[in-house]
């Protein structure tokens, strides 16, 4: 293969709480990949960041961590960061810092149903990939309160740019084709989505005709401006309200969904609820030159330090990292091994109704590789 003999170096940033348990579990799975699916040799760099680190050292994202990521690593895995309930002077979230400094402009969140979802009575046949624009929209956090003749009012700015919209759109169409490629490696029975690749553009341009109008037009332009996308990917639009409605009524109708930052945030939490535990859902922060895999869950202080956190979200995040760095066969091997473990059902952490430990789930996934 093209990657034979190459090295793949992954930065590991467990950060806080259960991050310290689930990232080692993901590492164990990466180390257990047989050379038949991963020709590259994997190496790891242990890196500091997080709220606990901030409390000891006065910074949440040390310069050395950033420098090591940039100079030594092909990608990284981030665990979780605990968010202080009150504002702490000098503290800002390290994952938000990483997104900015590494220009990780899209948050990619696959939401997939499987044996665990079925067991917990959740919905069937969900295989959706949500692309959330990661840099602008209402997250520019430019708010002001004013005093008017009728009392106080507040304004928030919402930025939508052609550049950010185009980059998110590019990501969506490229991923739609890439997913199609992955599916071709699978047996028909394992494929949830059987149609042509499809991208659903989410917006509310009937109300926000200027901002969402620019978003919609720009993303559509990515489709019409590229022959491979025009020929290979269908495109549809959904107003965000009807998107939510349809997602709950027929989640199996969606392939790739692309949304501005705030709509994407809301939709993806809703989608995660459709498939069972927070401990199952991975994500990847993606830019042109770097990828940071990150489980969707937080640091879960209520269960931290007890070896009972579900490591599957982190393990799947590691697989996303492999997918993004050109190691599709290895990624697929992890996805399949996880599905086997979930389907067998005898080794599950407490969030899925079992009594297994974090480390036992990791061992079990390794056995199925
Ligand atoms: P943070 O402030 O870091 O987000 P949190 O208290 O909001 O912490 P989350 O990590 O968001 O905690 O988790 C919310 C709930 O889901 C908690 O009850 C937690 O125990 C549970 N949970 C989250 N992740 C996992 C996991 N990987 N395995 C099992 N349970 C989890
Ligand atoms: Mg939380």
Please say if the pLDDT value at position 167 is more than 70.
yes
Q: How far is Cα 111 from Cα 273, in angstroms, rounded to an integer? A: 9
> What is the number of alpha carbons within 13 Å of residue 118 lying toward its C-beta?
11
Pocket flag, ligand 1, residue 279 (CB < 6 Å): yes
Indicate the helix (H) or strand (E) that contains 91: none
Pocket flag, ligand 1, residue 305 (CB < 6 Å): no
At a CB cut-off of 8 Å and minimum separation 6, what does 258 contact? 130, 131, 133, 168, 169, 171, 172, 199, 200, 201, 202, 219, 264
Sort strands 284-286 and 143-148 into parallel, antiparallel or unpaired. Answer: unpaired
Provide ipTM, 2 decimals: 0.94
For 131-173, what is the HEC assignment? EEECCCEHHHCCEEEEEECCEEEEEECCECCHHHHHHHHHHHH
pLDDT in tens, 216-236: 999 999 999 999 999 999 999
The pair of three-digit structure tokens given for residue 257, joined into one six-digit string: 């969904």
| Number of neighbouring beta carbons within 10 Å of residue 270 | 16
Q: What is the 180 CA–ligand 2 centroid distance (Å)?
A: 32
Instruction: Tell me what pLDDT residue 271 has.
Output: 87
At which residue do the structure tokens 């040799």 appear? 41
List the Cα angle 193/361/26 in 5-degree steps: 75
The strand pairing partners of 148, in sequence order, are 151
Instruction: Tell me what pLDDT residue 115 has.
Output: 56
Q: In this structure, are residues 296 and 271 in contact, taking their beta carbons and an 8 Å threshold?
A: no
Q: What is the 80 CA–ligand 2 centroid distance (Å)?
A: 10
Q: Is 204 a residue of the active site?
A: yes
Residue nearest to atom 1 of ligand 1 (CA): 298
The pair of three-digit structure tokens given for residue 243, joined into one six-digit string: 């998107």
* Active-site hit among 127, 255, 265, 351: 265
Least confident piece of the model among 135-139, 154-158, 193-197 = 193-197
Pocket flag, ligand 1, residue 297 (CB < 6 Å): yes
Instruction: Tell me what pLDDT residue 174 has.
Output: 95
Phi, psi for residue 345 in degrees, rounded to 5: 80, -10
Pocket flag, ligand 1, residue 61 (CB < 6 Å): no
Confidence of residue 125 (pLDDT cuts 50, 70, 90): confident
Please say if the pLDDT value at position 46 is more than 60.
yes
Instruction: Tell me what pLDDT residue 310 has.
Output: 97
Dihedral angle, C-alpha 239, 244, 245, 249, nearest 10 °: 130
Phi, psi for residue 10 in degrees, rounded to 5: -115, 125
pLDDT in tens, 307-366: 999 999 999 999 999 999 999 899 999 999 999 999 899 999 999 999 999 999 999 999
The pair of three-digit structure tokens given for residue 41, joined into one six-digit string: 């040799």
Averaged pLDDT score across all residues of the chain: 92
Please say if the pLDDT value at position 73 is more than 70.
yes
Question: Which of 81, 88, 298, 358 maximizes ligand 1 atoms within 8 Å of its Cβ, making it the mutation to test the pocket?
Answer: 298
Sort strands 198-203 and 75-80 into parallel, antiparallel or unpaired. Answer: unpaired
Residue nearest to atom 15 of ligand 1 (CA): 300
Q: How far is Cα 189 from Cα 187, in angstroms, rounded to an integer? A: 5
Instruction: Tell me what pLDDT residue 275 has.
Output: 82
Closest listed ligand to the CA of 81: 1
Sort strands 256-259 and 127-133 into parallel, antiparallel or unpaired. Answer: parallel
Q: Is 212 a residue of the active site?
A: no
pLDDT in tens, 91-120: 988 988 898 899 999 999 998 886 555 545
Residue nearest to atom 10 of ligand 1 (CA): 298
Return the axis-axis angle of helices 312-324 and 328-344, rounded to nearest 10°.
160
For residue 326, what are the CA distances in angstroms to 6, 169, 184, 244? Answer: 12, 20, 16, 33
Instruction: Tell me what pLDDT residue 1 has.
Output: 43
The strand pairing partners of 131, in sequence order, are 108, 258
Pocket flag, ligand 1, residue 82 (CB < 6 Å): yes
Pocket flag, ligand 1, residue 278 (CB < 6 Å): yes
Please say if the pLDDT value at position 6 is more than 90.
no
* Active-site hit among 91, 101, 103, 139: 139
* Active-site hit among 16, 204, 263, 335: 204
Pocket flag, ligand 1, residue 312 (CB < 6 Å): no
Phi, psi for residue 235 in degrees, rounded to 5: -130, 140
Closest listed ligand to the CA of 315: 1
Q: Is 265 a residue of the active site?
A: yes
| Number of neighbouring beta carbons within 10 Å of residue 314 | 32
Q: What is the 33 CA–ligand 2 centroid distance (Å)?
A: 31
Question: Which of 300, 312, 353, 362 maximizes ligand 1 atoms within 8 Å of its Cβ, making it the mutation to test the pocket?
Answer: 300
Closest listed ligand to the CA of 317: 1
Confidence of residue 124 (pLDDT cuts 50, 70, 90): low
Q: What is the 298 CA–ligand 2 centroid distance (Å)?
A: 5
């Amino acid at each position: 293969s093209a990657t034979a003999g190459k090295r793949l170096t992954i930065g590991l940033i467990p950060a806080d709480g259960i991050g310290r348990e689930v990232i080692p579990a993901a590492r164990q799975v990466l180390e257990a990949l047989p050379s038949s699916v991963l020709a590259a040799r994997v190496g790891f760099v242990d890196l500091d960041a997080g709220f606990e680190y901030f409390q000891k050292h006065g910074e949440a994202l040390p310069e050395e961590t950033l420098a090591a990521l940039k100079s030594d690593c092909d990608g990284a895995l981030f665990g979780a960061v605990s968010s202080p309930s009150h504002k702490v002077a000098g503290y800002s979230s390290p994952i938000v810092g990483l997104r900015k400094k590494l220009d990780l402009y899209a948050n990619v969140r696959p939401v997939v149903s499987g044996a665990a979802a079925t067991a917990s009575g959740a919905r069937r046949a969900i295989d959706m990939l949500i692309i959330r624009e990661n840099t602008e929209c209402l997250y520019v956090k430019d708010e002001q309160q004013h005093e008017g003749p009728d009392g106080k009012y507040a304004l928030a700015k919402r930025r939508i740019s052609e550049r950010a919209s185009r980059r998110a759109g590019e990501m969506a169409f490229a991923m739609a084709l890439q997913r199609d490629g992955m599916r071709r490696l699978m047996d028909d029975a394992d494929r949830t989505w059987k149609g042509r690749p499809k991208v659903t553009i989410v917006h509310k341009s009937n109300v926000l005709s200027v901002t969402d109008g620019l978003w919609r037009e720009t993303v559509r332009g990515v489709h019409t401006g590229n022959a491979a996308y025009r020929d290979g990917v269908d495109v549809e639009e959904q107003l965000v309200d009807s998107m939510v409605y349809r997602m709950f009524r027929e989640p199996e109708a969606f392939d790739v969904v692309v949304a501005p930052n705030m709509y994407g945030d809301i939709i993806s939490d809703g989608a995660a609820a459709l498939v069972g535990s927070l401990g199952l859902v991975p994500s990847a922060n993606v830019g042109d030159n770097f990828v940071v895999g990150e489980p969707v869950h937080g640091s879960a202080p209520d269960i931290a330090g007890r070896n009972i956190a579900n490591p599957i979200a982190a393990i799947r995040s590691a697989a996303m990292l492999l997918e993004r760095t050109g190691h599709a066969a290895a990624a697929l091997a992890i996805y399949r091994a996880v599905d086997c473990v979930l389907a067998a059902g005898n080794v599950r952490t407490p969030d899925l109704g079992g009594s297994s430990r974090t480390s036992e789930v990791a061992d079990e996934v390794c056995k199925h590789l």
